Structure 1
Amino acid sequence: MNFFERQDQVRKVSARLVFLFVIAVVGIIVVIDAAAFFLLGLYEQGVGNAINALIWITLLVLLVIVGTSFFRMLSLRNGGGGKVARSLGGVYVPEDTMDPQLRRLRNVVEEIAIASGTPVPELYVLPHEQGINAFAAGWSPADAAVAVTRGTLERLNRDELQGVIAHEFSHVVNGDMRLNIRLMGVLFGILALAVVGRIALYAGRGRNGLPIVVIGLFAIIAGYIGLFCGRLIKAAVSRQREYLADASAVQFTRQTEGIAGALKKIGGLDAGSRLRSGKADDVSHMLFGEGMRFSSLFATHPPLPKRIQQLDPSFDPDELQALRQRWSSRPPNGMAEDAALGLTEDGMAAPSGATREAPAAPPPPTPSERAPDAVPPTPQRVPVNPEGVVAGIGDPSSGSYEQGQQLLRRIPAELRDRARRVDTVVQLVYGLLIASDDEARQHQQAALTSRYGEAFADAVAAEAATLRGLDPELRLPLAELAFSALRRRDPRELNQVMTTVGELVRADGRVDVFEYCLSTLLHTELYEVLHHRPPWGERRQRLGDKTTAHAVARLFALFARIGSDDPAAGQAAYDAGMGRVLPGASIPFAVPREGLIALDAGWALLDGVHGQEKARLVEGLVLVISHDGVMTVAELELLRTVCALLHAPLPPIATAARPTGPVSGQP
């Protein structure tokens, strides 16, 4: 099952959830109406009066259940994943933290985010929870949050922590978070009826209040019957997804010992995976392990021994008892286990595949060690397999994880540090966009001075000088790393950042590939953080629609032009892509005069395509790029940007053994 099939499956589960919700609501209304009919004596009121009364009662029940469900989902959606984490006592982990445990956690999250092609999520720790647990929450990857317990930090070694975080990223990538938010809203709405029932019990005290008291009692009973059904739904929806997330984590990290070790520690420690928070039930379906004790009927996770055996077939459940005895007096210490393995957390993980005892390779020279006018290396060509690229979307492998680690290690440490600091991240992002052309740079300097003052503009100029020697392949990963700190700035300032980025890009009257990629990604991700929806909204489209077909043609034509200056080669690449996606269309090859800006009008159409049609769209796009068998760095940047805008996260494409070649043309 590939990424697009999993997305379809999540949509089907969401539709099934709505259907089951409707059934539960209808059942509750029938119970309440029947109680009202007999207890209020409506059968003595005449048919017309009885029907009118039942209609009003039905509308009131619907208002309570549907209204509270809707507003709960809206509240959770607008608060982002961080709201869920904070409601359980979560404390934000700063991007520039120097605490060894928190630094290790941040490093793991950043590595997996880069490797999976998703924004770095907000990161929280539940400091009062000693059980080993974690969860991912949010409406989309742009506003996602990952939270871990104090027990997770203290008890797990780095491999085990990687397994847990990779498990949670599987939920982020596959769209499980949105389904979880809907589940929370549905259950809250059903339970709200029981709250109304309690209010009715209180209001009905005194003379002649018996009918109201009885109706309140029935509302409570109906609400808890609905909650019973809701928990069954939650358990049924959650269990299978946990197996899939475990399997994804193993594929991602290329080892079963990590996640299996974390599960064994849950089974071998007294605290297990339990949460003490009174709101644990609200999030039980999105946790890494069971947060509460449930009967097998309501369990949101498969039995722990079965999860371990799926990962380690040789595992004997009796081993958990031996672990309990061993750890009862001396619980495991994750940092100590790392030290015993020779793994020190100096800001980055040891290279994958290297022995833990071997010294790390020396870091690349810092920008200050390069000549001030150093020129970035000539963009190189990367051999590409179209089927492999498409198969990797939303499905990162161990190679993706290694590539993500390598990309982060290649970014100079001082740049990583400034990208993680809230007070320097804006200057760094602007510095990435400062032009090498003197005239354009003067326009940019003037724009920054008018908005921020001369001192700030000078700081951006100094940042740009430092960034000039950065390998072009590292620019977007650096920007992705900076996104986490950037969104911590004041929302009003983020709107100004988006406006200023547009001015910097337009300063020289043209937009190159990197400028378009960075500005479009930045605008889209910040917009989703602020508004919790894409800038173009959400609507369903089909590839065969006329306007969508022309949007595809513009996209393919621009990609064909970027890949080759030869018109004949461009035409051949364009035809290959169109033949895959729209074989019956007769739209001529024509590069838009506006260049890359012409793509803006098509994102609402292309992102609205779902399922296998979107898979075919990406396949066609890769065919266009790889028609000559290779991709340039510019093409890689644009491909990753397009996939991000289509909400189809693309992991890094391995470039270790790439041959060099000339730069392709720009539109």
Structure 2
Amino acid sequence: MDFFEAQDNAIRKTKRLVFFYAVAVVCIVVCVYLAVTVGEFTYHQLSRPEGATYSPMDRMDVVDTGRIVWTAIGVVLLVGMGSLYKTLSLRGGGASVATSLGGERVDRSTNDHKRKQLLNVVEEMAIASGVPVPEVYILNREASINAFAAGWGRDDAVIAVSAGALATLSRDELQGVVAHEYSHVLHGDCRLNIRLMGVLFGIVMLTIFGRLLGSIFRGGIYASGGRRRSSGGGKGNGGALIIAVIVVVILVTIIGYIGSFFARLIQAAISRQREYLADAAAVQFTRNPDGIAGALKKIGSHSTHAVLEHPSASEAAHMFFADGLARGFSSALATHPPLDERIRLIDPQWDGKYDRHRPVKRKPEKAPSEEAAKAARPSGRQMIEGMAILGAIGTMSTGNLATAQQITGAIPESLDSRMRESEGARKVILALVMADNTLDDDAQWKVVEAAFSPDEITSIREAYDQVLALPRETRLAALELSTTTLTQSPLPGREDFLTLLNSLIQVDEHLSLYEFCVRRILRERLARGSGSASSDSSVQYMQLKPEVAKAVGNLLSIVAREAAGAGQPAALVSEAVTPLYLLNGKVSYHEAGEGDMGQLDHSLDILRSSAFAIRAQCLRAVVHCIKADGKLLPEEAESLRMLSLSLDCPAPPLGGALSN
């Protein structure tokens, strides 16, 4: 399944979830209506005068329009408000989910060996898959082995692992678990998972409401000193009303438990099949089946398995790497396939024994020589000419992981340490921006010297020299890692810092496409750190509406002018969109004008909210424009990657051929 197919599949699952939700609400309305009807029948039965010969049913209709309407309104409000409350409480994305489950964020400057190892694994996979580096959380109070990924999208996702997993798993096993979670991030499962949390909470609100009503009426009865009888015969209207309400509360509570049961069924139905796909993707990504299989085997032998102790664990059970709940009689409610099934699919030779002490044995693979690896890696031009970048979007491959490890390995330890601290990361970002505009070094340094003290200037020059020595593609990774650090800590004068960066970029009074992409990526990442909500891609333009066609035309026009040089950009745009059925005849070239780059920001925002099919064809046209002049500059290749990121289509590194 490719990236765009996976996104369409996630959208279909979301629609299925909405359908299940609607069916559940209708069933709850019907059940509550029957409970209210029974309660009213009970009231009439108990309150009739002694000796009356008429039936209580003579005074009420089983099917009453008013009762149906008010019951439906009450249930819809209760369930809807519950879902809305839970969804709003998770507005902060993956960080909100992690903290709600007792997670503690791992500081990037940590010196703890195991935590640093986890950070390295997460960073390598982020670079390899082209997604923003997620924040990492530890569930410190969980001794079991488990993990999850959560977030509204790829730009606010987090990876969380339990303390038991961090302490028990080897690096290979940890890598397998993290790769499994990255599959969920790439395939759009995280957004569905958070929506599912809101839906489930709304459905179980009836149980909470029933318990609350029960407590209120018990308290009311105790406060009044027991039952009250009227002097008129029968049980009295007051006593009849109390008994009738108690009957309704009991029935509503029972219905609430039934709703909870079906909520768990929905949770299991949505998540089970995805676990097989994520396991397969993890094996494909790491090319090490022993890693994820070893983690699953250790879960089977662990004293607490994968069970989490946090009281809110049931709400997020569908997110976990393994089933985090203690199951009773029914495996139908399990959110994950059985461990032995998952292990046998990965390791068909497994003997069925969960041996916690036996080390995993596998034949070491012979590492290819540096010359062989370089020869096997396609050149940047070959990759672009073969349209491989489109096929690589959203993929997880061993080659990408190896490239990511080379990229991170090329960063000196002193520079890496600098990037993991807030002040150091800020100076590295300044150095990275200046390093890509060497024609105006003096003017840029004057801007920097006016903003910092002499001691800080010395530190920035040290970072600048280290950045200049980095391979070209490593700089983009360094930019991503540095901005990730800044998102974790308050950055005083955030807007002033962005203004300074903009001044450095535009010191030559020209904003190139590459510089625009750098500025946009920085702004988006730092906005995430300020607590701003990520851009909402829930509004899907499924057809090429005029505003979407205009946005595509603006993007292609700018790319064509940059790539074609003195050629014919209008003809290039027409040639790029002709074979694309969604764009052909609807997208036209835009003449150059003032504010083109400012309009491009707005255009990318619109395109980010378009259907993935539109984004795929738009990127295909961009690739056609870039390769039309027969040249592939490193800046163009990186601009393409950053444009893909801006469109929420993560592109992995293009390979070491783009270095220096």
The answer, yes or no, to whether TM exceeds 0.5 is: yes
Asked if the contact 1:4/1:614 (under 8 Å) is kept, the reply is no
Which letter maps to 1:577?
Answer: A
Stretch deviating more after TM superposition (386-395 or 493-502):
493-502
Is residue 2:458 matched to residue 1:445? Answer: no
Stretch deviating more after TM superposition (284-293 or 381-390):
381-390
1:175 alignment counterpart? 188
1:226 alignment counterpart? 259
Asked if the contact 1:119/1:480 (under 8 Å) is kept, the reply is yes
Stretch deviating more after TM superposition (106-115 or 497-506):
497-506
CA distance in 2, matches of 1:282, 1:380: 46
2:284 alignment counterpart? 251
Asked if the contact 1:625/1:635 (under 8 Å) is kept, the reply is yes
The 1:274–1:210 alpha-carbon spacing in structure 2 relative to 1, beyond 3 Å, is same
1:552 alignment counterpart? 552
Which letter maps to 1:297?
Answer: A
* CA-CA distance at 1:594 after TM superposition: 4.6
The percent identity for this pair of structures is 35
* Rg larger for: 2
Asked if the contact 1:431/1:467 (under 8 Å) is kept, the reply is yes
1:610 alignment counterpart? 611
* CA-CA distance at 1:274 after TM superposition: 2.0
CA distance in 2, matches of 1:48, 1:454: 85
Query: For 1:332-411, what aligned pairs fall within 5 Å after superposition?
Result: 354=367, 383-411=383-411
Which letter maps to 1:181?
Answer: I
Match of 2:121 among 104, 108, 112: 108
Stretch deviating more after TM superposition (274-283 or 590-599):
590-599
Asked if the contact 2:537/2:608 (under 8 Å) is kept, the reply is no
Is residue 2:103 matched to residue 1:90? Answer: yes
* CA-CA distance at 1:567 after TM superposition: 0.5
* CA-CA distance at 1:444 after TM superposition: 2.4
Which letter maps to 1:108?
Answer: V
User: For residues 217-273 of structure 1, what are the alpha-carbon distances to aligned partners after superposition, in whole Å with 9 as ceiling and x for unaligned?
Assistant: 122111111111111111011011001111111111122221122112222333322
The 1:94–1:135 alpha-carbon spacing in structure 2 relative to 1, beyond 3 Å, is same
Stretch deviating more after TM superposition (201-210 or 303-312):
201-210
Asked if the contact 2:149/2:185 (under 8 Å) is kept, the reply is yes
SS at match of 1:508: coil
Query: For 1:115-194, what aligned pairs fall within 5 Å after superposition?
Result: 115-194=128-207
* CA-CA distance at 1:414 after TM superposition: 1.8
SS at match of 2:655: coil
* CA-CA distance at 1:613 after TM superposition: 2.6
Asked if the contact 2:130/2:652 (under 8 Å) is kept, the reply is yes
Query: For 1:241-640, what aligned pairs fall within 5 Å after superposition?
Result: 241-294=274-327, 295-317=330-352, 319-320=353-354, 323=355, 327=356, 354=367, 383-434=383-434, 436=438, 437-438=440-441, 440-441=443-444, 444-445=447-448, 448-449=451-452, 456=456, 459-460=459-460, 463-490=463-490, 493-528=493-528, 530=530, 533-535=533-535, 538-542=538-542, 544-568=544-568, 570=569, 573-581=572-580, 582-585=583-586, 587-588=588-589, 590-592=591-593, 594=595, 596-628=597-629, 631-640=632-641
Is residue 2:285 matched to residue 1:240? Answer: no
CA distance in 2, matches of 1:508, 1:153: 49
Match of 1:73 among 87, 91, 100: 87
* CA-CA distance at 1:47 after TM superposition: 7.0
Asked if the contact 1:384/1:629 (under 8 Å) is kept, the reply is no
Asked if the contact 2:79/2:202 (under 8 Å) is kept, the reply is yes
Which letter maps to 1:168?
Answer: E
2:49 alignment counterpart? none
The 1:194–1:565 alpha-carbon spacing in structure 2 relative to 1, beyond 3 Å, is same
User: For residues 450-485 of structure 1, what are the alpha-carbon distances to aligned partners after superposition, in whole Å with 9 as ceiling and x for unaligned?
Assistant: xxx676566545543543443332221101111221
Which letter maps to 1:237?
Answer: I
Which letter maps to 1:4?
Answer: F
* CA-CA distance at 1:53 after TM superposition: 4.9
CA distance in 2, matches of 1:55, 1:455: 72
The 1:44–1:418 alpha-carbon spacing in structure 2 relative to 1, beyond 3 Å, is farther
CA distance in 1, matches of 2:508, 2:629: 31
CA distance in 1, matches of 2:306, 2:659: 49
User: For residues 164-183 of structure 1, what are the alpha-carbon distances to aligned partners after superposition, in whole Å with 9 as ceiling and x for unaligned?
Assistant: 10110111111111111111
Asked if the contact 2:380/2:655 (under 8 Å) is kept, the reply is no
The 1:545–1:186 alpha-carbon spacing in structure 2 relative to 1, beyond 3 Å, is closer
Asked if the contact 1:407/1:474 (under 8 Å) is kept, the reply is yes
* CA-CA distance at 1:487 after TM superposition: 0.6
Which letter maps to 1:150?
Answer: A
SS at match of 1:30: helix
* CA-CA distance at 1:49 after TM superposition: 12
Match of 1:61 among 75, 81, 98: 75
* CA-CA distance at 1:15 after TM superposition: 1.1
User: For residues 196-218 of structure 1, what are the alpha-carbon distances to aligned partners after superposition, in whole Å with 9 as ceiling and x for unaligned?
Assistant: 11121122232332222222212
The 1:86–1:588 alpha-carbon spacing in structure 2 relative to 1, beyond 3 Å, is closer
Which letter maps to 1:73?
Answer: T
CA distance in 1, matches of 2:63, 2:274: 49
SS at match of 2:303: coil
Asked if the contact 1:180/1:285 (under 8 Å) is kept, the reply is yes
Unpaired runs of at least 5, structure 1? 343-351, 362-378, 661-667
User: For residues 14-72 of structure 1, what are the alpha-carbon distances to aligned partners after superposition, in whole Å with 9 as ceiling and x for unaligned?
Assistant: 11111111111111111112221231248676679964455334322222211011110
CA distance in 2, matches of 1:305, 1:48: 52
CA distance in 1, matches of 2:587, 2:515: 32
User: For residues 338-360 of structure 1, what are the alpha-carbon distances to aligned partners after superposition, in whole Å with 9 as ceiling and x for unaligned?
Assistant: 9x999xxxxxxxxx9649xx9x9
The 1:538–1:67 alpha-carbon spacing in structure 2 relative to 1, beyond 3 Å, is same
CA distance in 2, matches of 1:503, 1:610: 35
Which letter maps to 2:471?
Answer: D
Which letter maps to 2:261?
Answer: F
SS at match of 2:488: coil
Is residue 2:248 matched to residue 1:215? Answer: yes
* CA-CA distance at 1:394 after TM superposition: 0.8
The 1:630–1:532 alpha-carbon spacing in structure 2 relative to 1, beyond 3 Å, is same
The 1:580–1:495 alpha-carbon spacing in structure 2 relative to 1, beyond 3 Å, is farther
The 1:61–1:536 alpha-carbon spacing in structure 2 relative to 1, beyond 3 Å, is closer
SS at match of 1:146: strand
SS at match of 1:148: strand
Which letter maps to 2:325?
Answer: M
The 1:189–1:546 alpha-carbon spacing in structure 2 relative to 1, beyond 3 Å, is closer
Asked if the contact 1:81/1:137 (under 8 Å) is kept, the reply is yes
Asked if the contact 1:77/1:181 (under 8 Å) is kept, the reply is no
CA RMSD of the aligned region, Å? 3.2
The 1:390–1:557 alpha-carbon spacing in structure 2 relative to 1, beyond 3 Å, is same
Which letter maps to 1:485?
Answer: T
* CA-CA distance at 1:495 after TM superposition: 4.5
* CA-CA distance at 1:644 after TM superposition: 0.8
CA distance in 2, matches of 1:460, 1:480: 18
User: For residues 365-411 of structure 1, what are the alpha-carbon distances to aligned partners after superposition, in whole Å with 9 as ceiling and x for unaligned?
Assistant: xxxxxxxxxxxxxx986653444221111112111111111111112
